[in-house]
Amino acid sequence: MGSSSPARGWPESRVFMKRNVIIIVAAVMSASFFLYAQEQENPSAHGIKSGTEWLSERLSMSQPVESVNGAILTQRDLLREMYAIFPYARQHNGFPKAMEPDIRRGALQMITFEELVYQEALRRKMAIAPERLARAERQFRKQFNSAKQYQEFLKAEANGSEEVMRKRIKRSLLIDALLKAEVKDKSAVTMAEAKTFYVKHPERFKLPDLYTLQTITIMPPASADPKKAAPPPTAEQLKQMKTRAEAALRQAQQTKSYEEFGILAEKISEDDYRVMMGNHKTLPADQLPPAIVQVASRLRPGQISGIIEVDGSYTIIRLNAHTPAQTQKFSEINNALRAQMQFRKAETLRHQLGETLRKNAVIQQL
């Protein structure tokens, strides 16, 4: 039928990943573990070989990339965060070139934000209970298969110092605590707030008239030149098409199920949907040809139409499902709505917190 669709038949009218605002200690520290494992299992991915080259790479990892109120963030901090944003780097043997600048930019923004949050937690004299810190340490150690593996990690990441690692875990917990106070706790959305939003924005909860169809289509001859549209079919071609369509209709009327109609579509349909048993994805009425909607609206699920002329082709449809236009009930969507509202509120609060902390901060890229 129409030639405007990418598929032959009638038409059917990232930049990088972002982490949750609440930082979970295990997730933050496991990025360190991942970086360590990447180096151990695939040294060449980072250019780590031996001797001078190994030392050079280690020195490069400690290279400062940014100063935040005098606190130095290193290349290792940045790379650790890049792995947290894009954990598939291990399978890809590195970061995809097209994505790497955005991943790096996002990682730098995140480690800067975390450092500002950490410094604010220290300024407020926030504390972590000893039992909570001990619990987090135990949880972190569970990531390792053996004490030996943990000690190797400790040597690579913290110069073999338990105290350095404990301070890093405590830092993550302080970041988490401040974000909980300033973002998570303040972003809660009550049922009453969700109901008010629902009442004020009814248009957002309207579902369109939806149809799910299978088709068998008899098409006019394709253009001899794939770069040009086919000329309108001649009277003789239309007569031949109508004869084929009538034969197809007789066969379609003998089918009793989705599968039988689909198998027939695979055999005799001439549009590109035949490879999918004639099945079209569920579509709103305004994305279907008016002639199709007019007929489909009078069918019951499982019924087969007569021959419908659409854009110079002949189509037979089987209606598989029809969902009339409706408004979602609040009781059906209240939990999803509250979660969505809370997410947006948290994003706003997180952005505002970042802007506030940056206002008087001294940040220098090195």
Q: Say how far apart CA 34 and CA 31 lie, in whole Å.
A: 5
End-to-end CA distance of the chain: 61
Q: Which residue has the higher pLDDT, 89 or 25?
A: 89
Q: What is the DSSP letter of 209?
A: P
At residue 92, the pLDDT reads 72
Phi and psi (nearest 5°) for 53? -65, -40
Q: Which two tokens stand for residue 72?
A: 């130095």
Q: How high is the pLDDT of residue 13?
A: 42
- The answer to whether 274 touches 248, Cβ cutoff 8 Å, is no
Least reliable range by pLDDT among 145-149, 158-162, 223-227, 266-270: 223-227
CATH topology of domain 207-326: Chitinase A; domain 3 (3.10.50)
Region of 302 on the Ramachandran plot (φ > 0 left; ψ -120 to 50 alpha; else beta): left
**pLDDT band (50, 70, 90) for residue 33:** low
Average pLDDT on 57-79 reads: 84
Domain boundaries, the chain: 25-191+339-365, 207-326
Residue-level pLDDT at 34 = 52
Q: Tens of pLDDT along 246-282?
A: 999 999 999 999 999 999 999 999 999 999 999 998 9
pLDDT for the residue 16:
35
pLDDT of residue 153: 84
Joined tokens for residue 253: 């009327």
In tens, the pLDDT along 168-188 reads 999 999 999 999 999 999 999
Contact assessment for residue 246 and residue 238, using Cβ atoms and an 8 Å cutoff: no
Rounded mean pLDDT of the chain?
85
| pLDDT band at 67; cut points 50, 70, 90 | very high
Per this entry, what is the length of the chain?
A: 366
Average pLDDT over every residue of 21-37: 47
DSSP for 258-297 reads: HHHHHHHHHHH--SGGGGGTTB---EEGGGS-HHHHHHHT
| pLDDT of the residue at 9 | 54
Domain 25-191+339-365: CATH superfamily, name plus number: Porin chaperone SurA, peptide-binding domain (1.10.4030.10)
User: Could you tell me the pLDDT band of residue 150, with boundaries at 50, 70 and 90?
Assistant: confident
Average pLDDT over residues 145-173: 89
- Does residue 53 surpass a pLDDT of 70? no
Does residue 90 carry a pLDDT above 80? no
Mean pLDDT check: name the lowest of 4-18, 100-114, 253-267. Answer: 4-18
Q: What is the pLDDT of residue 66?
A: 95
Query: Would you place residue 157 in the very low, low, confident or very high pLDDT band (cuts 50, 70, 90)?
Result: confident
For residues 329-353, average pLDDT: 95
Sign of CA dihedral 254, 256, 258, 260: negative
| Continuous segment of H or E residues that includes residue 36 | helix 25-41
With a cut of 50, say whether residue 6 has pLDDT above it.
Answer: no
Res 27 pLDDT > 50: no
Q: Which residue, 255, 268, 264, 258, is CA-closest to 218?
A: 268
